[in-house]
């Protein structure tokens, strides 16, 4: 086979169901072999859209997402998406073209050092130097991406290697001497953890994205119900435990529930499963879980003790470790502790005050009610993301798809396209802000071209809401660079009067019409339910634009440098 034929063969061998990308001169040989193949290809309108779509496909399906781009600007346009997948431990393989080997290092047309550029934002990367090593490296790329702590892998293939021929077969198996992830936990450590759990009086389980990656939601639920422990999740762990369950505390951290944050701070044992203790979770580390011993289970040993002090480290695959742990822990009730949890839930519920217009929280709850919590929800990043995390109530894994670690605006819509490809028969909804949706709005063409019926619900506050919130609270309402209504006619200092505001750009209903899809706008609360019903009933993509108050903020909120129990519940 030629190198290009080998790449297509590898995709078949790895069971790839979708390839997202954009062609160019340094991958034209691969696209030539793609022509007429059985690999479904989705032409996005930007390479960033391609890598986010591959990421969304991976999160929704549990399979490896695959994208492809040409050298130079095509490859560098993947960088933000690779960093997004890397921070959230998502298995993606990115295949990039490169200039011919004899031109590497000569500043050739559309040359970029992709190994150097992506070294810190990929789990591993390869530059193929000979065509005979290509089959082995392709196999390794998929193996590394999906095994251990998952992550993105980039394989850079020079044009001459795509054209050269090899008689090397595609390997059936792979073994990398320097890469041996620990799957089964150390039994003495599991026994030690079980003994500590059996002594706990105020246990809390803290579940993260590792539970979902490992497919361990059932094992997590068995542990929680057996030891009668409440369960809170990180942003990436939403859906790992059903949020409608009486033991559910929902999300913890900066914009988590008050009762989850109080439970963490008062617990005597925190069982952390597949988490990395992000700063948005812990608040000020020295004030985090001050009364608790911490059991930390993770397949990545570098994550353990990285951010917080851990009493019992447990390295291994979450599903495997929980299976072993469930065989050892004793069944136990914690009635006084759960009564305290329920008291906090009654005293500090997730709540909001209707302002006369459309409340974003109401929109989220209405979506949850209409979909019966069964939709696949993607979000952009910012207030729309936090309101969705707080008010949707996720009940199963892989139905929440959002950029956590990197916080990438523009992620949600192309990720929704990838999720829709993975699950063509499911309802997929991207809940967006009017700022972030415009970052990859060009992918509307992709949705229309491939008849991907993603529903875009825009919470339109005519501003970059989360930055505006911080400026409102901490920067004396000096709103710099956040108003999306602003134009050259505006005064230097805005008086806040809506009567003087220019016409908002763009008109999302007209924009939808330009892509030949339905668009709806609403600014009255009574319009929310009927418009959502109409949108969800439509068999193709739809844009729904809900006008909300720019003063609406996300609470609770743990300010920077504060402990989890030092929350702001609203504006002073």
For each successive 10 residues of the chain (572 residues), what is the average pLDDT?
A: 98 98 98 96 98 98 98 98 98 98 96 98 98 98 98 98 98 94 96 98 98 98 98 98 98 97 98 96 96 98 94 98 98 97 96 88 98 97 98 98 98 98 98 98 98 98 96 93 91 75 94 98 97 98 96 94 92 68
153/14 Cα distance (integer angstroms): 15
153 close to 81: Cβ distance less than 8 angstroms? no
Closest C-alpha to 81, from 71, 63, 66: 66
End-to-end CA distance of the chain: give it in Å, rounded: 69
Q: Which of 33, 139, 159, 345 is catalytic?
A: 159
413 close to 440: Cβ distance less than 8 angstroms? yes
Q: Which of 109, 187, 191, 306 is catalytic?
A: 109
Question: SS3 of 295, please?
Answer: strand
Interval 254-278: pLDDT, tens = 999 999 999 999 999 999 999 999 9
- Token pair 């580390």 is found at 285
159 a catalytic residue:
yes
H helix intervals, 423-527: 444-449, 465-474, 508-514
362/365 Cα distance (integer angstroms): 5
Token duo for residue 147: 């095994």
Q: Which of 14, 47, 219, 547 is catalytic?
A: 47
* Cα-based distances in Å from 164 to 126, 161, 447: 18, 5, 36
- Beta-carbon neighbour count of residue 160 at 10 Å? 16
Token duo for residue 233: 């999740």
**427: burial class by Cβ within 10 Å (0-12, 13-18, 19+)?**
middle
Sequence-distant (≥ 6) Cβ neighbours of residue 213 within 8 angstroms: 89, 149, 150, 274, 318
87 close to 406: Cβ distance less than 8 angstroms? yes
466 a catalytic residue:
yes
**If you compute the radius of gyration of the chain from its CA atoms, what whole number of angstroms results?**
24
Question: SS3 of 528, please?
Answer: helix
Q: Which domains does the chain have, with CATH numbers?
A: 3-163 (3.40.50.970), 187-347 (3.40.50.1220), 360-547 (3.40.50.970)
Strands, DSSP E only, in 173-316? 203-207, 231-233, 248-251, 269-273, 293-298, 312-315
* pLDDT (0 to 100) of residue 572: 62
Token duo for residue 279: 């700063």
Rounded (5°) CA angle 270-238-52: 130
Token duo for residue 311: 């009493």
85/111 Cα distance (integer angstroms): 24
Q: Which of 466, 479, 508, 552 is catalytic?
A: 466
109 a catalytic residue:
yes
* pLDDT (0 to 100) of residue 495: 64
Interval 291-333: pLDDT, tens = 999 999 999 999 999 999 999 999 999 999 999 999 999 999 9
* pLDDT (0 to 100) of residue 496: 63
- Beta-carbon neighbour count of residue 40 at 10 Å? 12
Question: SS3 of 455, please?
Answer: strand
Q: Is the dihedral of CA 84, 89, 92, 96 positive or negative?
A: positive
Q: What is the pTM of this model?
A: 0.97
61 close to 16: Cβ distance less than 8 angstroms? no
527 a catalytic residue:
no
Closest C-alpha to 137, from 2, 5, 7: 7
Identify whether 506 is preceded by a cis peptide bond (ω within 30 of 0).
yes
Closest C-alpha to 480, from 467, 466, 498: 467
* pLDDT (0 to 100) of residue 494: 78
110 a catalytic residue:
yes
Q: Which of 110, 340, 442, 449 is catalytic?
A: 110
Token duo for residue 165: 């021929």
- Token pair 């999740």 is found at 233
């Amino acid at each position: 086979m030629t190198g290009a034929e080998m790449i297509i063969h590898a995709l078949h061998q790895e069971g790839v169901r979708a390839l997202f990308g954009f062609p160019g001169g340094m991958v034209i040989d691969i696209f030539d072999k793609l022509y007429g193949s059985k690999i479904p290809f989705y032409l996005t309108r930007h390479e960033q859209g391609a890598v986010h779509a591959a990421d969304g496909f991976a999160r929704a399906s549990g399979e490896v997402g695959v994208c492809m781009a040409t050298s130079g600007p095509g490859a560098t346009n993947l960088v933000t998406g690779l960093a997004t997948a890397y921070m959230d431990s998502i298995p993606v393989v990115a295949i990039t073209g490169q200039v011919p080997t004899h031109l590497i290092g000569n500043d050739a047309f559309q040359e970029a050092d992709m190994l150097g550029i992506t070294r810190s934002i990929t789990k591993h990367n390869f530059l193929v130097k000979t065509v005979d090593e290509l089959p082995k490296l392709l196999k390794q790329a998929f193996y590394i991406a999906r095994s251990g702590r998952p992550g993105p892998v980039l394989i850079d293939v020079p044009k001459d290697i795509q054209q050269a021929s090899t008689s090397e077969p595609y390997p059936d198996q792979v073994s990398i001497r320097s890469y041996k992830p620990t799957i089964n936990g150390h039994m003495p450590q599991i026994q030690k953890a079980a003994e500590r759990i059996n002594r706990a009086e105020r246990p809390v389980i803290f579940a993260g994205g590792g539970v979902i990656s490992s497919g361990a939601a059932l094992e997590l639920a068995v542990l929680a119900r057996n030891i009668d422990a409440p369960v809170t999740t990180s942003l990436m762990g939403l859906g790992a435990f059903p949020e409608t369950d009486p033991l559910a505390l929902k999300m913890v951290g900066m914009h988590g529930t008050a009762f989850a944050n109080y439970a963490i701070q008062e617990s005597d044992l925190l069982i952390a499963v597949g988490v990395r203790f992000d700063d948005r979770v812990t608040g000020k580390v020295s004030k985090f879980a001050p009364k608790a011993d911490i059991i930390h289970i993770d397949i990545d040993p570098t994550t353990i003790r990285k951010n917080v002090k851990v009493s019992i480290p447990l390295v291994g695959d979450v599903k495997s470790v929980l299976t072993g742990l469930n065989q050892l822990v004793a069944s136990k009730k914690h009635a006084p502790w759960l009564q305290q949890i329920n008291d906090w839930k009654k005293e500090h519920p997730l709540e909001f005050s209707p302002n006369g217009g459309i409340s974003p929280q109401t929109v989220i709850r209405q979506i949850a009610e209409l979909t019966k919590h069964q939709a696949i929800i993607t979000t952009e990043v910012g207030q729309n993301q936090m309101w969705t995390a707080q008010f949707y109530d996720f009940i199963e894994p892989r139905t929440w798809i959002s950029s956590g670690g990197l916080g990438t605006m523009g992620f949600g819509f192309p990720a929704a396209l990838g999720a829709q490809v993975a699950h063509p028969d499911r309802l997929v909804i991207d809940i967006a802000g009017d700022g972030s949706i415009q970052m990859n709005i060009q992918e509307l063409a992709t949705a229309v071209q491939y008849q991907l019926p993603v529903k875009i619900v825009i919470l339109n506050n005519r501003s970059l809401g989360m930055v505006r919130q911080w400026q409102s609270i901490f920067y004396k309402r000096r709103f710099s660079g956040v108003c999306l209504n602003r134009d050259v006619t505006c005064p230097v200092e805005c008086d806040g009067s809506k009567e003087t505001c220019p016409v908002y750009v763009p008109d999302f209903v007209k924009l939808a019409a330009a892509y030949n899809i339905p668009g709806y706008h609403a600014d009255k609360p009574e319009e929310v339910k009927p418009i959502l019903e109409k949108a969800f009933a439509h068999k193709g993509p739809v844009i729904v634009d809900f006008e909300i108050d720019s003063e609406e903020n996300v609470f609770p909120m743990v300010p920077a440098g504060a402990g989890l129990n030092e929350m702001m519940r609203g504006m002073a």
